[in-house]
Structure 1
Amino acid sequence: MAHDADAVLDDPVGQSLGGRHAHLARRLGRAATYHREVATFSAVSTEPDAADWADLAGLLGPGAFADLFSCPAVPPPTWEPVFSLEGRQMIWSGGTPDGPAAESGAGLVELGPDSVPDMLDLAARTEPGPFWPRTHELGTYLGVRVDGILVAMAGERLRPPGWTEISAVCTAPDARGRGHAARLISTLAARIVARGERPVLHVAETNTGAVALYERLGFRTRRQVTFRGFRTP
């Protein structure tokens, strides 16, 4: 059973949409989703009934993609499965982040609206997960530029109360092996801890290299999850 402080992580999308990301949300009844150019994640109540699924379908529209992230509830059989991916949720194990990156974030740059084309290009080439034109509005995104070219980035995504998720961790193929990801993650974790929150992240079970990196940086597995996507009727 989850500790009280961890319980919000059982529904990270719903907790974010109902809290610090409420300004980025669209809602109908007990269903909610992000604005389309921000994120595709959607949420229903923790024990959804037929009306909740109908509200989400109405919110998204017919034949629309519904990314339910780690929601354990399964929609009605009229919803077409799109993908199912085993993964894990990992949380910061405590203490103050250190290591190669938490020094001060030297050499890292904050990525804002003017960096969106570069961020979209890097995400398209490295596929760290869904990334859209307004995803950067979810939180702070940091990057590494070499000769002006963005070669690595990571940022803040879901933000359930007391927690901030680190996401979009990616490095261009020709810039790997130089510690960029570790530095970005540790710097973000240090900032999150400094403001009194705890870092959390999600990773596909098949991405064993990322899991090993996160464990070295101070994360531990909280629970196994299944990421699911569907198409509305």
Structure 2
Amino acid sequence: MRGSDTEVLDDPVSRSLRGHHAHLARRLGGAARYVPDVATFCAVSADPDAGEWADLARLLGPGELADLFSSPAVPPSDWEPVFLLDGRQMIWSGSAGDDLPGTEPGTDLVELGPDSVPEMLDLVARTRPGPFQPRTHELGTYLGVREHGTLVAMAGERLRPPGWTEISAVCTAPEARGRGHAARLVGALAARILARDERPFLHVAEANTAAIALYERLGFSTRTRVTFRGFRTP
């Protein structure tokens, strides 16, 4: 199985922008970012110099969010801190033959496309699973659950470093919680990722203990602790 090399997960944004998501990247010198309507994430090298930070500032524009995701690189002092969040990166530790929820015959999961974007944005606004833009669905497959025609849960694929696919935007509307939707969505996505000979991984806020416990039950284990950080360009 591909995905045995975990070093690419040390810099998943940059490795995605240089690889599977290169068509969604914008570059200037040593800096890179996603197309704004797709994702807020941007990337610099592991040890950027002043010129590289200047490239990123020009690429983003003045007063814009530099979402550095889990990069430890420290921007110049005139970049205003916006957010800092402790989290962890978890990787799939099961085997391809494991039974996963959401893969049973007759499952009610549906694939979400461009026509579902208004519903997806509404659900994200209600549940706040993390950054989600009007074109985020272009990063990969997104699955959802509808009850009486209303989208009440979803999850999808986001970063794609070589050999790996990140599961993200896992969210369930408050009125539909406790019914196993998140487990089935994550399980179904993990099965799809494994079927194409890649390995699933994900990121979760350290404070979200319920989600961490769920992911551990589904076969994920913690690879490393990370800190998500964002700054405002001068």
Give me the identity figure in percent.
76
Q: Distance in 2 between matches of 1:88 and 1:76?
A: 26
Task: State the Cα distance separating 1:4 from its structure 2 match.
Answer: 7.1
The DSSP-based 3-state class of the residue aligned with 1:5 is coil
The DSSP-based 3-state class of the residue aligned with 2:107 is coil
Q: 1:198-220, CA deviations, whole angstroms, 9 ceiling, x for partnerless residues?
A: 00000000000000000000000
Q: Which residue of 2 aligns with 1:147?
A: 148
1:113 equivalent to 2:114? Answer yes
- Structure 1 residues 109, 64: closer, same or farther in 2, change over 3 A? same
- Matches for 1:51-130 after TM superposition, within 5 Å: 51-96=51-96, 97-104=98-105, 106-130=107-131
Amino acid paired to 1:85? L
Q: Which residue of 1 aligns with 2:212?
A: 211
- Structure 1 residues 39, 104: closer, same or farther in 2, change over 3 A? farther
Q: Which residue of 2 aligns with 1:177?
A: 178
CA contact (8 A) 1:105 1:183 kept: no
Q: Which residue of 2 aligns with 1:136?
A: 137
CA contact (8 A) 1:144 1:153 kept: yes
Runs of 4+ residues over 6 Å off in structure 1: none
The DSSP-based 3-state class of the residue aligned with 2:130 is coil
Amino acid paired to 2:55? D
1:158 equivalent to 2:159? Answer yes
The DSSP-based 3-state class of the residue aligned with 1:58 is helix
Q: 1:113-134, CA deviations, whole angstroms, 9 ceiling, x for partnerless residues?
A: 0000000000000000011100
Q: Distance in 1 between matches of 2:4 and 2:149?
A: 45
The DSSP-based 3-state class of the residue aligned with 2:5 is helix
- Structure 1 residues 56, 68: closer, same or farther in 2, change over 3 A? same
Q: Which residue of 2 aligns with 1:224?
A: 225
Task: State the Cα distance separating 1:103 from its structure 2 match.
Answer: 2.1
Q: Which residue of 2 aligns with 1:9?
A: 9
Amino acid paired to 2:118? P
Amino acid paired to 2:209? T
Amino acid paired to 2:187? S
Instruction: Please tell me the root mean square deviation across aligned C-alpha atoms, in Å.
Output: 1.2
Task: State the Cα distance separating 1:98 from its structure 2 match.
Answer: 1.9
**TM norm structure 1:** 0.97
Q: Distance in 2 between matches of 1:184 and 1:41?
A: 24
CA contact (8 A) 2:100 2:191 kept: no
Task: State the Cα distance separating 1:104 from its structure 2 match.
Answer: 4.8
For structure 1, which runs of at least 5 residues remain unmatched after alignment? none
Amino acid paired to 2:146? R
Q: Which residue of 1 aligns with 2:24?
A: 24
**TM norm structure 2:** 0.96
CA contact (8 A) 1:105 1:184 kept: no
Number of residue equivalences: 231
Task: State the Cα distance separating 1:105 from its structure 2 match.
Answer: 7.2
Task: State the Cα distance separating 1:94 from its structure 2 match.
Answer: 3.0
Q: Distance in 2 between matches of 1:20 and 1:232?
A: 27
Q: Distance in 1 between matches of 2:216 and 2:78?
A: 40
Task: State the Cα distance separating 1:49 from its structure 2 match.
Answer: 1.0
CA contact (8 A) 1:67 1:230 kept: yes
Amino acid paired to 1:106? T
